[in-house]
Structure 1
């Protein structure tokens, strides 16, 4: 039955209850939503419904000062039977929603944000379903879609990934559906029973608390597939702020505590659906590529307290809720499960059983192994691999290779791929390296190799293989299951050596005669695609010529170590052909050479990826590159093409670096991830990092110093200027290989201007005291942002208008040696100032956000600074004043560190040249 009476007390059997009008009240809180509120209201006007369905739209003004007030009042005047305008003076979206709830007169309540919309039949479809199933459920939810709006107002819609878990309209029993109610946000409808209120003291996650309180009443929920909540995904929201653990770490644990409290306080088990929706906040943060969960910015003591608190909350969540969490990767589920820090046991039988309280919850049987690199270098077959195993943290694993029946134990370390789909370590994957000297092969013998593991003395064979980077065989990105067969799965011939990979995961190595090798080469050429066939034919035509080509390459629009080394080497008379590879527009490089008055006589330039570049690669023995972006800046072939040219390409990739590696970014530089053959270093400290932390052989390191350190420094060119060169930040930078029409990197401007990085930068620029300080000391401050920020110059340049002594530089290349003082936050650019003995100040723009993970790295290998550290303008001026009083000389305690840091020859360019020539002789 329906009553058109608001808040009338009805007595039935001595019990009083409230009744409301038949229909739905839609509550829309708004604050300065002038740009979007009209569209939101129109989506309600355009609802397709039956005449007897009452829709009440309550527009709750939360003290707006823009046009949204007039829009709301206008709808209430034009459509008084549908829209009501009310003012909620208590600020905050929860206050506004609660105020709307208190004014709602219909039997069901729905919520819509002032920048979102409903699909045309949402209200009718939800109402019909809810009314039909009213006695069985307390809440109905419906599909979510992301609504993308471009600058012209055109809209595209993308289904939320979780829509796939609920495809059909119906009733769902939580215990039969893996408790997946975490799918909900405010895409819900609820009963208007005066029991539901938002927690006004929660600045984030209030919707989850609200929903949890309703879910806990009933094991059933309703879902309407045809109704769509369209969530606008184009504007910056304050919610973005709470994605950082700097602002959310305690809050998310507080919210979980509140979700569980009503049950714990009354000695009840927390309903599983409430456990699930609470866990979701942890899950999506944990699954994020960049850290959104762990408060790494805290001290060790505070971090451990936070960690224990998380552990205790996770212990209130049933194991099956975590282990069966549908939207979470299974490896990550196991990692989260281990955070409970509960006692687990391992039993080794034919498989490995993992048990808790005597009950098996997981069994390892495949021993999936990933080949992270498979190559031939310096006449050695080299393989890097790791065991991709769940819960490897709980067992002691020994790795062995069998070489013609001889058992060899291999040393292991924690694979960088343990940062599984994340930048932080999630799982322990034991990594290992195998190396075989191909000089041991002759025409009479063959070598058979395979790998296996021992756990508690029991041998386990590999049942599954996956190849990430196989430079010899065409089996990349493929999974192979064990087949007890010696049939050949894949084979190739390189350097007169035939490599065969059998279906039983054994490798067979054999040496071919010259005739056999040539026949194999011809056969492979005939069956190649035309672009590869042409290069292979070209390789045969120049086979009698020495491999006498060296290529030098820097990054896009950058002049770096490769160019400086090229200037040194191109003058040599040694029968080596040398080419500098440039990217896209040649004008930048040409302008630099003209400005620096560089003699271009004898220089040869080739565009990256051109036909000439591809042909040169066939004759190339050395590539020198200052950036480790192999296929983007160094090699003009795809990975597939590389396999087709395995027996043609024989170059060594020399990584010059573009700075001293000080940041812990193993996901970029670990030996498993790169194609590097040799690395140029400048210090003993780097040798320690590359060998101990990144697992390179000592023989891979050329300690000759960066080529740009060989450029003459004219101290007379010093100017009365300070150079401030902070590093970039990953969280508001998009794809590093995408550019706009002006050749600038694309960045998320909204995230950028809301970041602590930008706010601190504006404080520096707008500081009257700093401007006065610079003027009184006759100094200028040049701010040189990373080239990645070139796309943000339109919003940065206006900041310095009217500032005589502060400048934002737009040129790509700046010589720090010309400045009196060098300032940075975490940039490796600081090591140029160390080499030049320039006074250094570290100005940390966003220390907490940085340490919490707003960048691709957050830790450093180096355990000390070369200058004082500040994080505000007042301290900055104090440190500058100290340097000025010291006549712009480096303070003795820092000078001592600078003097002892580097260890390389007097002339790096010539030292590297001699190393490379020695390699050429060895190659011949």
Structure 2
């Protein structure tokens, strides 16, 4: 014990201080006081620790706030320095730290009161064993809080051996740690734009390959602006840096390097796999497959995977079986092999079986009834599809002593993008028509390589009957369909007895209770409330959080005038509230605030939900986890109105198996073909009535002497916050988009052009770009005007003789209005790299309706060649003719009739 005390006394500059807390501070005046308050409230005596606030060149009031906090608390120290980045700020704090231990906290997060005392006490008990202690992390995103994935491994207070494969995913990747302040403590690498935290943690942990975990307290991480983080980590900016980072970490363990045996620490392997797993889901691992760098990048990752043991890949948390198999298959070295046999198939490498299965998975994502027939649409998934020729499917129907077998056609499914923005695995779509009044049980079998395997049934999460919650049945009228508890069959119950209904409900309630007690309350509460809430059919209409009134509102305006026994409500987000609703007081009662108590009460029982935005948080007041627990009625119909004509190529987002959409509204023959052939929608799901917005756009063009500049928003140039309008980010003013756009707007040639032609230029920003309206207003003159960006009036194209845009839906509005188009696409390179979340257009601009300019000078040149009478001539005029299905003002009436 005396030696331990002597060791403790030899590190740190002032043994009287037990701890130094380093907080980098940069432009965080809104949250700094809250963060520091949580540190002051730690259950440590003020004389035991210091709080070091490092003001890293803040340009807001953060520095002054830090100074005032230091005046109020004697154990707070402030360091002011020029802006050098978060790593330099932490290093500055570490250099001045007088504590025996150092903790890190970011200036927008907080600690629970007992957190640091628990970590320090644990360190005292295990001083010689470990160099780092971590503790729980609560990740807060909006109203949702979840633990860090590492807590599936770090389940209790203790020392965890990182050489043990079961601890490979302990994943200390964030700064919620306490470390020894001794001479061996590394500094954060200021040359790294990303990975600086991870490199620091790995350097410390790989020395002893042990980590301490104190379950006391928690680091509360406020997850803000995930899109900004994703942009920062995007391969367009970081691909080479990321690859070199991991290559450097694995290099010392290559066989023969410094006597190494070719086996990297399993904790390093787990950290690498963790990054691969989350990045591939977000489309951040490699560039798009159409990008020149794709193949080389994928190969380098395959080589790195050669350093990872198969067992570590298979143990990856939060990764599906398909995802794990993808990385096993990508890994360089001996290839995988699949052996098919009666009773099952197995995937192996070098004779070692890695995965064995006796069935394939059948995911049902759409259920509807017509008369006595139950229709199911689904997709078959199996790793075995990668090793077999095209599979065959057969449906077996049983009733007492009778049976029937039917061949089921299969087609490629958009779930080929099961967990990525690229094709990663083969999947097969199917549709079943089950005469449930004639048969009692249905089973599906799949034949591969001469062997037959049963399908295991699953309900997709958006059906309100799914494996995530334990709900396994759907009701329609007097019919109940259920997946058996073994998942090997679908059963039909016609007019089931009260005893059977109670048995099913009891079974499901037990399953739900195991998952989530609050989920059971929601499930049962909604079921019991239904008779009191659901007295007449009703529909809900809603537009996105960031837009003004859109297609859902236009349709609502039309439908609310119908006297058809259906109640209707428009669900308004904050973005729609400033607009006066043109209704009587009685009609105004049909406007609901999104997420209000009445919206929450009505939502579970809506017969139809009409939305112009597909993301669930735009039309559902419940998060997916809560949505899953709603009682399975099978009756609600989700109708996707779209914002405009579809253009972005994104099967992983808009595929039929991905959206949960029952019906989709299209305006053009191009979309009819697209959604049927590329996105996997059945013909009966596609409503070719035209978008409601086109009732407000005149197809006869009556322009004034005005040019419209209406660029689309850029995902990579804003910070997205769930349920709120996007906010500015730091990349906008240095982006190629803004540099070329501002160069054009400030060019004397543009002013001369407008004056010579007696034209005016109107700038119409998309609502998601409204945060940058002030920057555009700096270019306003008597000839250049910035329109209100809080909402885009669909009629705006009618009053302009030319529309300058890019891949914005307003291009199609212009086609409808017979307004000529000039495309301006200055950031094509960034777009092609996938920074917008997609990298291709389903209708390339080169096949569009006007010439394409990519620089300010090209745009000025194209304008000089514009004829205000003839536009840009052929082939653009011919392409526009007949592009739309309808040329009238009856889109809304057609949609109403289609949905009745």
TM-score (norm 1): 0.72
1:834 matched to 2:815? The reply is yes
> Residue 865 of structure 2 is aligned with which of 860, 864, 882?
882
Partner of 2:707: 721
Q: 2:690, 2:63 → 1: CA distance? A: 65
Partner of 2:798: 817
Q: Is the Cα contact below 8 Å between 2:139 and 2:148 reproduced in 1?
A: no
The 1:156–1:673 alpha-carbon spacing in structure 2 relative to 1, beyond 3 Å, is closer
Q: Is the Cα contact below 8 Å between 2:58 and 2:83 reproduced in 1?
A: no
Name stretches of at least 5 consecutive residues in structure 2 with no aligned partner.
502-525, 622-626
Partner of 1:597: none
Q: 1:568, 1:108 → 2: CA distance? A: 66
1:401 matched to 2:395? The reply is yes
Partner of 1:212: 202
Q: 1:696-707 counterparts in 2 under 5 A?
A: 696-698=681-683
What's the Cα RMSD here? 5.9
The 1:774–1:314 alpha-carbon spacing in structure 2 relative to 1, beyond 3 Å, is farther
3-state SS in 1 of match to 2:758: coil
1:369 matched to 2:386? The reply is no
Q: 1:417, 1:238 → 2: CA distance? A: 27
The alpha carbon displacement at 1:702 in A equals 6.5
1:277 matched to 2:271? The reply is yes
> Residue 172 of structure 2 is aligned with which of 172, 175, 183?
183
Deviations, residues 318-366 of structure 1 (Å, cap 9, x unaligned) = 2222221335455433333333255111122322211111111112235
> Residue 286 of structure 1 is aligned with which of 280, 285, 292?
280
Q: 1:262, 1:47 → 2: CA distance? A: 41
Partner of 1:780: 760
> Residue 747 of structure 1 is aligned with which of 726, 745, 749?
726
The alpha carbon displacement at 1:77 in A equals 10
Partner of 2:522: none
3-state SS in 2 of match to 1:313: helix
Q: Is the Cα contact below 8 Å between 2:397 and 2:439 reproduced in 1?
A: no
The 1:865–1:819 alpha-carbon spacing in structure 2 relative to 1, beyond 3 Å, is same
Deviations, residues 701-735 of structure 1 (Å, cap 9, x unaligned) = 67676676676544444342324152574995868
Partner of 1:453: 446
The 1:466–1:803 alpha-carbon spacing in structure 2 relative to 1, beyond 3 Å, is same
Q: 1:230, 1:632 → 2: CA distance? A: 26
Q: Is the Cα contact below 8 Å between 1:236 and 1:751 reproduced in 2?
A: no
> Residue 250 of structure 1 is aligned with which of 220, 236, 240?
240
The 1:678–1:211 alpha-carbon spacing in structure 2 relative to 1, beyond 3 Å, is closer
3-state SS in 1 of match to 2:214: strand
Q: 1:110-125 counterparts in 2 under 5 A?
A: 110-113=103-106, 125=118
Q: Is the Cα contact below 8 Å between 1:734 and 1:747 reproduced in 2?
A: yes
1:348 matched to 2:340? The reply is yes
Partner of 1:433: 431
1:902 matched to 2:883? The reply is yes
> Residue 294 of structure 2 is aligned with which of 287, 300, 303?
303
Q: 1:785-864 counterparts in 2 under 5 A?
A: 785-787=765-767, 792=771, 799=778, 804-810=783-789, 811-815=791-795, 816-844=797-825, 846-847=827-828, 850-853=831-834, 855=836, 857-863=838-844, 864=847
1:691 matched to 2:670? The reply is no
3-state SS in 2 of match to 1:826: coil
Q: Is the Cα contact below 8 Å between 1:26 and 1:112 reproduced in 2?
A: no
Which structure has the larger Rg over C-alpha atoms?
1
The 1:642–1:227 alpha-carbon spacing in structure 2 relative to 1, beyond 3 Å, is closer
> Residue 135 of structure 1 is aligned with which of 90, 109, 128?
128
Moved more, 182-191 or 34-43: 34-43
The 1:639–1:380 alpha-carbon spacing in structure 2 relative to 1, beyond 3 Å, is farther
Deviations, residues 451-482 of structure 1 (Å, cap 9, x unaligned) = 111222222223453355669xx88976589x
Partner of 1:742: none
Deviations, residues 364-395 of structure 1 (Å, cap 9, x unaligned) = 23533222122224875422122344564344
> Residue 170 of structure 1 is aligned with which of 133, 143, 158?
158
Q: Is the Cα contact below 8 Å between 2:710 and 2:805 reproduced in 1?
A: yes
3-state SS in 2 of match to 1:175: coil
Q: 2:45, 2:891 → 1: CA distance? A: 85
Q: 2:806, 2:450 → 1: CA distance? A: 51
The 1:903–1:786 alpha-carbon spacing in structure 2 relative to 1, beyond 3 Å, is closer
Q: Is the Cα contact below 8 Å between 1:209 and 1:258 reproduced in 2?
A: no
Q: 1:135, 1:694 → 2: CA distance? A: 58
The 1:57–1:410 alpha-carbon spacing in structure 2 relative to 1, beyond 3 Å, is same
3-state SS in 2 of match to 1:295: coil
Q: 2:471, 2:108 → 1: CA distance? A: 49
The 1:629–1:678 alpha-carbon spacing in structure 2 relative to 1, beyond 3 Å, is same
> Residue 312 of structure 1 is aligned with which of 281, 303, 314?
303
Q: 1:593-742 counterparts in 2 under 5 A?
A: 607=590, 659-666=644-651, 669-672=654-657, 681=666, 683-698=668-683, 712-727=698-713, 729=715
Deviations, residues 270-315 of structure 1 (Å, cap 9, x unaligned) = 222222234333333234xx4333322x863311111111111122
The 1:231–1:674 alpha-carbon spacing in structure 2 relative to 1, beyond 3 Å, is closer
3-state SS in 1 of match to 2:445: strand
3-state SS in 2 of match to 1:172: strand
Q: 2:116, 2:533 → 1: CA distance? A: 64
3-state SS in 2 of match to 1:216: helix
Q: 2:140, 2:630 → 1: CA distance? A: 37
Name stretches of at least 5 consecutive residues in structure 1 with no aligned partner.
9-16, 482-488, 521-527, 540-548, 595-599, 739-744
Q: 1:687, 1:812 → 2: CA distance? A: 26
Q: 1:564, 1:294 → 2: CA distance? A: 41
Aligned pairs, number: 835
Q: Is the Cα contact below 8 Å between 1:142 and 1:224 reproduced in 2?
A: yes
Deviations, residues 574-605 of structure 1 (Å, cap 9, x unaligned) = x99999975569x99999999xxxxx9xxx99
Q: Is the Cα contact below 8 Å between 1:368 and 1:389 reproduced in 2?
A: yes
3-state SS in 2 of match to 1:266: helix
Deviations, residues 232-281 of structure 1 (Å, cap 9, x unaligned) = 65699986652333222222212112222333342523222222234333
